[in-house]
Amino acid sequence: MKASFSIALLLSAAFLTACGGSSKSKQTVAEFSLTPYEGRTVNTNSIAGTWVTVGLGQGAGTYDGGSSSFEKAFKNYVVIRENGSGGYEISDCYGGFEALAVNGNSIAFYEYESLDLEASSTGTISNNNQISGSEIGRYTWGESGEYSESYDGTFEGVKISDSVAEFGEITLSDGVTSAYDIYCFSHKSNAWSGSGGSGTLTELEVGGSTNSAQLVKWQGDESWSYIGTYLNRNSTSYDFDTDYGDSVSFSIDEETTSNYVISFEGASDEESVEGAIVIELP
């Protein structure tokens, strides 16, 4: 369910807009580099630690007689830790930790399957400090499954630290200011080209022990932005969407190979929030 929410967001904004725009220029994305993270001294007796992965993928979809294709570049910061039962678990940007299946040098994670969704990531570990692999996504929706998307990507990554602690903090103020830990961070850049238009989509996602936040911005013939936060404070959640007349803004104020500072705010007729995401890799 958590995975399908993200995919549905991407489809409802980027895919539908790309199918109905007016510009037909080809969009491309810039790949993230793994080079600045390589060569760290880490314990190679265990995969537990903080990892950085980067990758690139392509996908295509159909919608109501239209079609669209996209390219996605991504960079992820995750924590892999022992689960207390002799195995491992990996941090999830939708909150919490997910099981990490290990079989020799092969691993599998983020596996989701339902009637309308199939998604998974698999990889090969080398020397307990390097990984290469692939990920897939298949999604259909509509009463008769008339809308669909397929995605295939590859990635590589390195272990940069033996630390399994949180590496960031999200603060949010809605009359009460609260702070939450971050164990997962994802920065995705998507470029869409449809039968009627094109545009770019930026996605920033963070996940903590039980919390998460997602910031999404579409830029094309029509602009669109979204902020969603899900907090472990009386099960508080916020959704602000410019398609519904809400005010939404966010910006990357600082970005280095080890730090991000992101500010955001959202407001509707009934409520408003503002906050910041600070990432500091070990």
9 pLDDT tier (thresholds 50, 70, 90)? very low
What would the 3-class secondary structure string for 60-126 be?
Answer: EEEECCEEEEEEEEEEEEEEEEECCCCCEEEECCCCCEEEEEEECCEEEEEEEECCCEEEEEEEEEE
Pairwise pLDDT comparison (10 vs 162), residue with the higher score? 162
Report the percentage of the chain scoring pLDDT > 70.
86
For residues 104-129, give the mean pLDDT: 90
- What does the pLDDT read at residue 130? 98
186 pLDDT tier (thresholds 50, 70, 90)? very high
For residues 196-210, give the mean pLDDT: 88
Q: What share of the chain is helix, strand, coil (3-state, %, to 5)?
A: 10, 60, 30
Q: Are 169 and 161 in contact (CB under 8 A)?
A: no
**0.85 surpassed by pTM:** yes
- What does the pLDDT read at residue 20? 46
How many residues belong to the chain?
282
Q: Which of 61-65, 80-84, 160-164 has the lowest mean pLDDT?
A: 61-65
Task: Give φ, ψ of 2 to 5 degrees.
Answer: -65, -40
> Would you give the distance in Å from CA 118 to the centre of its chain?
16
Residue identified by tokens 């993200």 is: 6
- Give burial (CB, 10 Å; 0-12/13-18/19+) of 169: middle
For residues 121-142, give the mean pLDDT: 93
262 pLDDT tier (thresholds 50, 70, 90)? very high
For residues 80-106, give the mean pLDDT: 95
